[in-house]
A and B are shown apart, each in its own frame.
Chain A
Amino acid sequence: MEVIAWTGAGHLRGRGLEPHDIDEELLREQVIGFIPHRGARVAYAVTGTGPPLLLDVGRAHHLEAFWRHAPYRHLVRRLSRRFTVLRWDRPGFGMSDRQPADLSWEAEDALVEGLVRMVGGGAVAVVAAGDAGPTMVRFAASRPDRVSRLALFGTAADAHAPVSGLTAAALELLAGTSAPAIHDAVAAALAAGSEPDVAPWLATALEASADVATMAGLVAWPAGHTGAPAELVRAPTIVLHRVGDAVLPPRFGRALAARIPGAAFVPLPGSAHLIYAGDPEPLLATLLPFLLQDGDGEPRPLSQRELEVAHMVTLGLTNAEIGRHLSIRPRTVDAHLEHIRAKLGVNSRARIAAWSARNQPLRVVQGGS
């Protein structure tokens, strides 16, 4: 017991921080490691605590460049409060060794297998978006013992689902010329329907992620390759797609869900194709309860502190006021609320208040300044 006292919590507790705050402090930055894989060092990042979750937002990724983008970081952090979130850069991309990228399905399978083994080898939850979707559908189908729950976002069963006629043609032309403009073009294409600042940021992030040849290979690669054997997926699966997706129309997501036995299709509001663009709240409000569901699907009970916070929301207090009443920091209140939302499967304060009013006996909040 005493040994634990000096492990660090001591330092932070000495400044009046709760365990939540310590986790939040650690979540400010990601920890990047490198695993040897087929002669290359593959960069990966682990954030948060809880059961392992593989988060794959697309093949052209750069751990650091993406992390610097606040909306992306926000999404990762939210998931990291409930999961040990694992992200990575494929060989040839991002912070991994920049050897020529092997884009084959076989390489994809082997890499994911290696990553799952790294986090303990059991079954893991998987969230995959965009062009990472087919990879993870394949993996879930071929290794049913490795995937406990599968959440797919803004993706299709086939690797090369048409992106939107003109853009796809333009991309292929650019891939042919190997012009540096390819990063701009891919970013512009993928960021259609997202906030205006996404495209310029994504262009620089993609440029950091992959050189011209790799990017061109990625754009050209999937043509003619089909798909993942979606019918063989056995893990509980949810397919999320924004109804106004300006890059990949939602019918692709719907078709994918139809092929996976028992999969639910959930349309989300918004037009952003990218998982880290648009409003993250509706996405998280669906994603977290699905990922956190126990076998019987029963919501998990709230802790005493969470019940208190929920009650104060019912009273109409702001986070700052709740923090003062409970002598905890606003960030801690945020974390409690996040847990409450996830456990109850709701996405608004009003829903929390309604739940609390229904389920908690009346009590009086005392003191506070």
Chain B
Amino acid sequence: MSGGAPAGQRLGYFEHHGRRVAFATVGSGPPLICDMGPLHHLDVFWRYPPYRRLIEALAQAFTVIRFDRPGCGLSDRAAADFSIDGEIELFDRLVAWLGVDRPAVLASASAARVMIAVAALLPDRVRRLAVFGARLGPQSDGHGYRDAIEALLRTQFELGADLLARRTAEGCGPAAVQWLASAYRQVASGDVIARWLRVATDLDVTAHLRRVSCPTLVLHRRGDRLVQLQEARDIAAQIRDALLVPLDGRESVLWEGDTDALVAQLVRFMADDVEVAAAPGAVELTVREREVAVLVADGLTNAEIGGRLGIGRRTVESHLERVRSKLGLRSRTDLAAWAARMRL
């Protein structure tokens, strides 16, 4: 696999309930869905160096898939549905559209609770789950604060976004807080942000923890003052076979501060099931299989592909056969469509 930095993110859209949902892929390797929560904007965040550095580091090991929820970011700004049922539908649709079978998921902050619920309710859909800065249940002291921010978001949007950023970027430097405030002003309307806050403050996944059956990694910065390490411990202790990795630092935002140890732990955790991934029926393609798939999608014949890659036509055929059986695809056309959707 080449070690060079990915050139950029590949943006795409899919339809969901008549609305366009934006997603982006970057890198290569097994699929990793990174859910940063609804307050996300594929383009605005991508242009922020600390965020981009983290995604690019992950993209060295994974095909990183990010998305903006309906109502947010680059997706259609029509009504958002933040209910757990809505989240499950959206996740299902995203996974089906990408054609990935049981992707790994990294979910940060409030999105961590959403994805814990998704993993619990769709046990066969998530291969591995990593959460960062996860809170266990509703914030005990959160309601007064939420009500105040909600009111501000609806009446004095910029001030509300600013206060929200100050709260969310606990332990981060002033530049990070300032950037987050400016990003919040671009991710969604005040009304949508306020509605998400309402959902996020009350979302309690305590009952779901015991039903999460995929391997789970709980990452948490030990100095986080927004969510104490003890909550991460309680989450890890209640999910079967979950692992907890306390990390140095106090930034409550995933991409701020030192992320090297975080990436190393994440990569090792996701790689622990290499044998599973390499088994027949799983979707991960080898580098060569991926190259062959891309050239098929480009419309080349097997002979041309062999010439391009310096391998025999028979070898190309056997690669293709493996690709088709791994992905459960019958025809070259299906394969080309899959490759196009994955933006290979």
Contacts and interface: CB of A to CB of B under 8 A. Distances in A.
B316 to A, nearest CB: 16
B270 A8 contact: yes
Given A14-B3, A43-B233, 18 more contacts: A2-B288, A4-B274, A6-B1, A6-B62, A10-B60, A11-B57, A11-B263, A14-B60, A25-B260, A26-B268, A28-B261, A29-B246, A31-B265, A32-B244, A33-B236, A33-B242, A33-B243, A64-B229
A68 interface: yes
Contacts of B278: 3
A170 interface: no
Contacts of A11: 57-58, 60-61, 263, 267
27 contacts: A2-B286, A2-B287, A5-B1, A5-B287, A6-B284, A7-B274, A10-B29, A10-B60, A10-B61, A11-B58, A12-B264, A14-B3, A25-B261, A26-B265, A28-B260, A28-B264, A29-B265, A30-B245, A31-B245, A32-B243, A33-B242, A33-B243, A33-B244, A34-B236, A34-B242, A64-B222, A64-B229
A8 B61 CA distance: 5
B271 interface: yes
Interface string B33-46: 00000000000000
A55 interface: no
Given A6-B29, A26-B268, A64-B222, A34 B229 contact: no
A18 interface: no
Contacts of B237: 34, 41, 43, 95, 97
A68 B221 CA distance: 12
A3 B286 contact: yes
A22 interface: yes
A11 B243 CA distance: 22
Looking at chain B, what size class is its interface with the partner chain? Answer: 35 or more
A25 B260 CA distance: 8
B264 A25 contact: yes
A13 interface: yes
B264 A26 contact: yes
A34 B233 CA distance: 10
Contacts of B62: 6
Interface in B264-317: 264-265, 267-268, 270-271, 274, 277-278, 284, 286-288
Contacts of A2: 1, 286-288
Nearest to A11: B60
Contacts of B4: 14
B309 to A, nearest CB: 13
Nearest to A32: B244
Interface of A: 2-8, 10-14, 22, 25-26, 28-34, 41, 43, 64, 67-68, 95, 97
B326 to A, nearest CB: 12
A203 to B, nearest CB: 19
B251 to A, nearest CB: 15
A64 B224 CA distance: 14
B247 interface: yes
B248 interface: yes
Contact of B28 (A6, A13, A30): A6
Contact of A29 (B248, B274, B286): B248
Nearest to A26: B264
Contacts of A64: 222, 229, 246
A33 B241 contact: yes
A39 to B, nearest CB: 13
A2 B60 CA distance: 14
A8 B268 contact: yes
A26, A32, A97 pick with most chain B CB within 10 angstroms = A32
Interface in B57-99: 57-58, 60-62
Contacts of B103: none
A185 B340 CA distance: 67
A97 B230 CA distance: 12
B30 interface: yes
B274 A32 contact: no
Contacts of B3: 10, 13-14
Nearest to B59: A11
B222 to A, nearest CB: 7
Nearest to B277: A3
A27 B287 CA distance: 29
Contacts of A28: 248, 260-261, 264
B255 to A, nearest CB: 16
Given A11-B61, A13-B3, A33-B243, A3 B284 contact: yes
A95 B243 contact: no
Q: Which 3 interchain pairs have the tightest Cβ spacing?
A: A8-B267, A14-B3, A7-B271
A41 B60 CA distance: 36
A333 to B, nearest CB: 19
Contacts of A68: 222
Contacts of A25: 260-261, 264
Nearest to B260: A25
Contacts of B288: 2
A221 B60 CA distance: 54
Interface in B217-260: 222, 229, 233, 236-237, 241-248, 260
Contacts of B263: 11
A34 B209 CA distance: 14
A22 B268 CA distance: 10
A33 B216 CA distance: 10
Nearest to A13: B3
Nearest to B239: A34
Contacts of B61: 6-8, 10-11
Nearest to B261: A28
Contacts of B1: 2, 5-6, 10
Given A4-B274, A29-B247, A22 B264 contact: yes
B60 A95 contact: no
A29 B60 contact: no
A73 to B, nearest CB: 11
B272 to A, nearest CB: 9
